[in-house]
Structure 1
Amino acid sequence: MQLRKSLMPFWLVDFLLLSISWWLAFWLRFNFSIPDEFNPLVWLSMPLMLGAYLLGLVLARVYRQVWRYIGLPELRQLGLGVFLGGLLCVAAVLMMRYPQFPRSVLLIHPMLVVLSLGAARAGWRTFAEHTELSPNSQPLLIIGSLEDATSALRVLKGSSQWHCVGIASPLMKEQGAYLQQIPVLGLASEIAEIARSTGATTVLLASPPGSTQRRDALLQANPAGLTLLAMPRADAWLRADGASLHKIELEDLLGREAVQLDMRGLAELFSGQTVCVSGAGGSIGSELCRQIARLGVARLVCIDASEIAVYKLEQELSQAHPHMQGIYYTANVREPERLLAVVQSHQPTVFFHAAAYKHVPLMESNNEIEAVRTNILGTLNAARVAGLCGAKKFVLISTDKAVNPTNIMGATKRMAELVVQSVAREFAATDFVSVRFGNVLGSSGSVVPLFTEQIAKGGPITVTHPDIVRYFMTIPEAARLVLQAGLMGKSGQIYVLDMGEPMKIAELARLMIKLSGRSENEIALVFTGLRPGEKLYEELLADDETTEPTPHAKLRIAKSNGLQAVQIEGVVAWVNDAGAAPSSADIRQWLRSHVPEYQARL
């Protein structure tokens, strides 16, 4: 049953316990028998003692505590209150100069008070937790080490929806142990058997994101028909409770520990400043806007060619950050005059350029000139505008496909990097930085939305090649990387992320099938062959041969022989002269003349 809120004034309980402890202190002082001549002294001094201790507890704010949630911090606060009360009591008794007052009572009494008041609070919490266990709460198993399970139990505390019946730890040394009276029932690999013995149908993964324990748990739990839940994400901890648990998602399995940010440096760069983001309505651009808004910018200028994307972003940010001045433009980076007019009216300190065409097969045929105009000329326009307006930083969002490109999209993004480095020579007051990263989970045009749609239709899931591999990161992780690199970067540098181990797309598809609760017998996996311009694997972006380390563990700098440059006016002239429909061969030949490492794969 639900515990009804008690109207009982808890200070009366303390009043009674203080009085009993006072009498017990005298009783212990005189070897369990208070002499008759000291009995009046007990009662005479008791009001003085009560006033002193209650004042001490009030000064320590003990009566602002909620007994049902009492813990070590509250007990330490109680100890402080008792210490203050004891000092006041000693001072009051000495000032009153009671005749033959046994001073040892003043030492015995605080110890009794701490024991009795602490026991009362601990007992009340135990009673509250027991009576608040809802008959409708569901049994839950936790997978993770005892250290991880501690955080999980903290989230579950007070939940009426779940109650933990056991822990499955991956560590042999923790078998048979107890955590908060909850037993470790076996190894994580035995989760199916443990679930049958306890009757639990839901499992909470307490292990860190991206750990092999999470993938192993999915493989074990799926055949047993168990529902997998994950801990609240970082941005949900402020409201974390049992209800904030969410079903396990792909990000929970593939993610890594969050990129650590230099918050002091970022606050100095962004707080109270004006920041501009082009391509603000896209997957990366919109996440950049969210994270920049949290850093306390005064004004955020959001630019995107898509009207609906700008509208959705405006609705979200105006509600989440009502005190921030958000300014939203439907503008195209391919129009330099319009872009200059927009940016010049706000004079941003930092300019993030995320606007681009990025879908490889779509840009590989029929749309090559569009990729050139947006990815190259659009970047040129944005970089020059940032320099002309005196921005402190300009950050280009690039891609791993710019490394030894085999497709139009990758080649145009590599050209964009070269253009940025060339513009850097024109504007010494602005730091121009490029940031490369791999595939972003859930971004528009990525395989995850495609696979999700195919699973919803009952399959099949189409994968181009059984051995094709990619690096992956989450959208928030990519945005944090961009922010950190923008803070650290020096003009002309290209930053890359230490992305760990790549993953086979086929394995990704199988994980998504299992996350949906289906099996490969129900959802077929079909291999269709590599598409034009598609690599079997992306280049290693962060090895010691091609990059240099930085003070940030997950960021590295691409090695280069000084600033590479292109003749910007020649680039602009060629694109303008090419007209509306240049041949695919001409575009590829022109790109190859500027990006020698570009090898078209048809």
Structure 2
Amino acid sequence: MGVARRLIVQYRRALVVAVHLVLWTAALLLALALRFDFEIPSAYGTIVPRLLVASLAVRVLVHWRLGLFHGLWRYSGARDLRSLLWAATLSSIALMACWAFMSTGNFPRSVFALDWAFSILIVGGLRFSIRTIREVTLQNAMPQSSGKRRRILVIGAGDAGEMLMREIVRIYAKRYEPVGLLDDNAGKHGEHIHGVPVLGPISQVTELAAEKKIDEIIVAIPSLSGRQMRELLELCRPTGAQIRTLPGVDNLIDGSVTVSQLAEVNIEDLLRRVPVTLDAEAIGRSIQGRVVMVTGAGGSIGSELCRQVSRFNPKRLLLVEQAENSLFHIDRQLRAEHPSVDIVPFIADICDSRRLEEIFAAERPHVVFHAAAHKHVPLMEANPGEAIKNNVFGTRKVADLADRYGAEKFVMVSTDKAVNPTSIMGVSKRVAEMYVQALSQRSRTQFVTVRFGNVLGSAGSVVPLFREQIAKGGPVTVTHPEMQRYFMTIPEACQLVMQSGVMGKGGEIFVLDMGEPVKIVDLARDLIRLSGYSERDIEIEFTGMRPGEKLFEELAVDEESVDKTKHPKIYVGKFRPHALSELERAYESLHAVSNGSDVDAVKQAFKEIVPEYKGGVSMTLPPDEPPVPTERSSQSIVSTGDRPTPALA
């Protein structure tokens, strides 16, 4: 059985084509038999084989070109039916045209019409029969839930709600009892979706949940913003029912919705933003068939960049990472999810010039995404020499090699902490930005920098820390009641990094629209509530700001103006250019203090390069009214809708 299964998997495509050939042969013979009352005249004895060969050849070519031999029949749906109709119609028209040139006598045209209809019925019937058998098998195999079925109420009677309800009714009927749906579209009230009624507007969720004895509420509106999700969660909370939701629409890559995607409402849902719209065609042109390198490939941003890049079929993906375990995990994951991509893992430290040069010389990457960096502010304050070695000189080494070996594009991942920096980490990233921009002035490589704020759920970030503290019973530690940060999800940040890389021509620093800043204390309160506790159960403790921290992060600097780009979430900032020769001299002073033993000397060396750097803790509060830019002003704002969000300081 195992051998047979392996052979089927190995030769699946050939088997699919063979099955189609048999079905199309049956369709044509049935069409001929029906046309001639099951007595095909002997005069057609030599014509039928010619017609059959022509029919099979044309149908194979058309169906192969349309990709209809690649789908999995057990997942056939309306889209597959449309594709079958289109392929059958095209191939029948092509067959009639070919036959008009090949045939020397009259031939009943009704045969072609019958053959068209039978090919759709037979092929489509087999595909949907396999899907039906699968669904029945899954439903029978689904274990009966202990006790009674869970009564569910679905919020959202749109496409996502319909797809979810269809799967529940067909496969998970033993586990769930769908009671109804809620939707604010009055035209849907009283209607039924897969036999389940639309009961009324969402505002009635509390009374309907009590009346119908609902165990679980499912939010099936992936397009909800974070603010709308917070409001809906507050509306549903008094019901006492378990609340689950689907991921945001930007994470539903193929638009499909399944029960397996349901999850408890989490903090990412409460901070959900408008989905990112990507120029997939332009990104594909820049990556497909190219050798792409990602430094820091095992980190939160680097690993997600690898996943995003893999979707666009690079010729080869180079994973450069100094942490062995992190590299092992992302390498294994990518190979499982993208078996067609040639993935090459390299254990390498970006501070190791010889190792880096070996990789560049052997692989000659076309595109480099530089995400390797030390990012923890307090740790870099305590270890400033490591920030110099890694963030400054490590970036310089990677950038110089990209230039020397003719990379087409170099995209550096930067941070909002590089703006008017108050920390060693922030100023080290600012110096790296300056070098990359200076190098772009004389290099054929297009050097681009992308700057954004905090990402939710990244390793060592505030959200995992809060979750760990809540799991231990508290307290949840917040440094200051007024501290604010910009947040976005890791996939969104990486998608915008890739988009910026495509848009950049060299020398730009792109600033991502981070939306509205969020108070860290509000984030802590939301996480406590989502974990099923109140502030009476889990205390919030204010510990005071740490060295190098600001209350409010910015996204650009005074010497910079931000212009809109063709992408609504990406802005471009133009800095005063720095001469590469000046920076190289300044780097000598940094190199002299790179052991980090004299912290004051390190800070002074940074201050000589970045005059706006102010070491120590900044207690600056966010402005109540962000400045409105004029044509001559060096300050700008990023518009995020009804009100401006400060982007420059």
Whether TM-score is above 0.5 comes out as yes
1:141 aligned residue (136, 139, 153): 153
Contact 1:398 1:413 (8 Å CA) reproduced: yes
Distance (Å, rounded) in 2 between the aligned partners of 1:454 and 1:179: 43
2:360 partner amino acid: V
Distance (Å, rounded) in 2 between the aligned partners of 1:512 and 1:449: 10
Aligned residue for 2:170, secondary structure, equals coil
1:169-248 equivalences under 5 Å are: 169-170=183-184, 179=193, 181-207=195-221, 208-231=223-246, 234=251, 237=254, 240-248=257-265
2:155 partner amino acid: I
Aligned residue for 1:567, secondary structure, equals helix
Aligned residue for 2:345, secondary structure, equals strand
Distance (Å, rounded) in 2 between the aligned partners of 1:76 and 1:293: 27
- Indicate yes or no: 2:615 matched with 1:600: yes
- Indicate yes or no: 2:432 matched with 1:416: yes
Q: Return 227-236 or 400-409, whichever deviates more.
A: 227-236
Offset, 1:302: 1.2
2:355 aligned residue (294, 314, 338): 338
Distance (Å, rounded) in 2 between the aligned partners of 1:73 and 1:301: 36
- Indicate yes or no: 2:370 matched with 1:360: no
Q: Residue 406 of structure 2 aligns with which residue?
A: 390
1:141 partner amino acid: L
Aligned residue for 1:573, secondary structure, equals helix
Q: Residue 294 of structure 2 aligns with which residue?
A: 277
Q: Residue 388 of structure 2 aligns with which residue?
A: 372
Offset, 1:49: 8.0
1:585 aligned residue (578, 600, 604): 600
Distance (Å, rounded) in 2 between the aligned partners of 1:380 and 1:76: 51
Distance (Å, rounded) in 1 between the aligned partners of 2:499 and 2:211: 48
Larger radius of gyration: 1
- Indicate yes or no: 2:182 matched with 1:168: yes
- Where does the alignment leave 5 or more consecutive residues of structure 1 unmatched? 1-44, 53-57, 89-94, 98-109
Contact 2:416 2:451 (8 Å CA) reproduced: yes
2:199 partner amino acid: L
Distance (Å, rounded) in 1 between the aligned partners of 2:85 and 2:506: 56
Distance (Å, rounded) in 2 between the aligned partners of 1:187 and 1:238: 25
Aligned residue for 2:277, secondary structure, equals coil
1:153 aligned residue (160, 165, 175): 165
Contact 1:269 1:487 (8 Å CA) reproduced: yes
Distance (Å, rounded) in 2 between the aligned partners of 1:69 and 1:326: 31
Distance 1:229 1:51, change over 3 A: farther
Distance (Å, rounded) in 1 between the aligned partners of 2:191 and 2:256: 30
Distance 1:580 1:562, change over 3 A: closer
Q: Residue 582 of structure 2 aligns with which residue?
A: 567
Q: Residue 503 of structure 1 aligns with which residue?
A: 518
Deviations, residues 158-186 of structure 1 (Å, cap 9, x unaligned): 23143432223356776656555543434
Distance (Å, rounded) in 2 between the aligned partners of 1:519 and 1:48: 79
Distance 1:78 1:591, change over 3 A: closer
Distance 1:67 1:418, change over 3 A: closer
Contact 2:218 2:243 (8 Å CA) reproduced: yes
Distance 1:67 1:381, change over 3 A: closer
1:310 aligned residue (314, 324, 327): 327
Offset, 1:201: 1.7
1:329 aligned residue (346, 358, 370): 346
Contact 2:180 2:198 (8 Å CA) reproduced: yes
Distance (Å, rounded) in 1 between the aligned partners of 2:405 and 2:87: 58
Offset, 1:576: 2.9
Distance (Å, rounded) in 2 between the aligned partners of 1:518 and 1:509: 11
Deviations, residues 341-371 of structure 1 (Å, cap 9, x unaligned): 221210000011111111111112x211111
Distance (Å, rounded) in 1 between the aligned partners of 2:478 and 2:546: 10
Aligned residue for 1:538, secondary structure, equals coil
Offset, 1:392: 0.1
Distance (Å, rounded) in 2 between the aligned partners of 1:372 and 1:139: 58
Offset, 1:449: 0.8
Q: Residue 265 of structure 1 aligns with which residue?
A: 282
1:544-563 equivalences under 5 Å are: 546-562=561-577
1:430 aligned residue (445, 453, 457): 445
Q: TM-score, normalised by structure 1?
A: 0.76
Aligned residue for 1:512, secondary structure, equals helix
Distance (Å, rounded) in 2 between the aligned partners of 1:449 and 1:314: 23
2:217 partner amino acid: V
Offset, 1:153: 3.4
Cα RMSD of the aligned pairs, angstroms, is 4.3
1:376 partner amino acid: V
2:417 aligned residue (381, 393, 401): 401
Distance (Å, rounded) in 2 between the aligned partners of 1:575 and 1:172: 67
Aligned residue for 2:363, secondary structure, equals coil
Contact 1:157 1:241 (8 Å CA) reproduced: no
Aligned residue for 1:345, secondary structure, equals helix
Deviations, residues 273-301 of structure 1 (Å, cap 9, x unaligned): 11111111110011111111221112111
Contact 1:359 1:409 (8 Å CA) reproduced: yes
Distance (Å, rounded) in 1 between the aligned partners of 2:410 and 2:73: 51
Contact 2:163 2:257 (8 Å CA) reproduced: no
Aligned residue for 1:166, secondary structure, equals strand
Contact 2:160 2:257 (8 Å CA) reproduced: no
Distance (Å, rounded) in 2 between the aligned partners of 1:144 and 1:344: 55
1:198 partner amino acid: K
Contact 1:152 1:231 (8 Å CA) reproduced: no
Offset, 1:494: 0.4
Deviations, residues 72-107 of structure 1 (Å, cap 9, x unaligned): 98599899999x9xxx9xxxxxx999xxxxxxxxxx
Aligned residue for 2:298, secondary structure, equals coil
Aligned residue for 1:449, secondary structure, equals helix
Distance (Å, rounded) in 2 between the aligned partners of 1:342 and 1:72: 45
Distance (Å, rounded) in 2 between the aligned partners of 1:440 and 1:376: 22
Q: Return 193-202 or 227-236, whichever deviates more.
A: 227-236
Offset, 1:230: 2.0
Contact 2:513 2:569 (8 Å CA) reproduced: yes
Contact 1:157 1:242 (8 Å CA) reproduced: no
Q: Return 569-578 or 453-462, whichever deviates more.
A: 569-578
2:582 partner amino acid: Q
2:154 partner amino acid: I
Distance (Å, rounded) in 2 between the aligned partners of 1:390 and 1:298: 17
Aligned residue for 1:260, secondary structure, equals coil
1:413 partner amino acid: K
Distance (Å, rounded) in 2 between the aligned partners of 1:314 and 1:65: 27
Aligned residue for 2:546, secondary structure, equals coil
Aligned residue for 1:369, secondary structure, equals helix
Contact 2:590 2:602 (8 Å CA) reproduced: no
Deviations, residues 516-561 of structure 1 (Å, cap 9, x unaligned): 2222221112222222221111125599x94111111111101334
Distance (Å, rounded) in 2 between the aligned partners of 1:435 and 1:584: 29
Distance (Å, rounded) in 2 between the aligned partners of 1:500 and 1:290: 24
Q: Return 265-274 or 205-214, whichever deviates more.
A: 205-214
Q: How many residues align?
A: 526
Distance (Å, rounded) in 1 between the aligned partners of 2:512 and 2:471: 33
Q: Residue 537 of structure 1 aligns with which residue?
A: 552
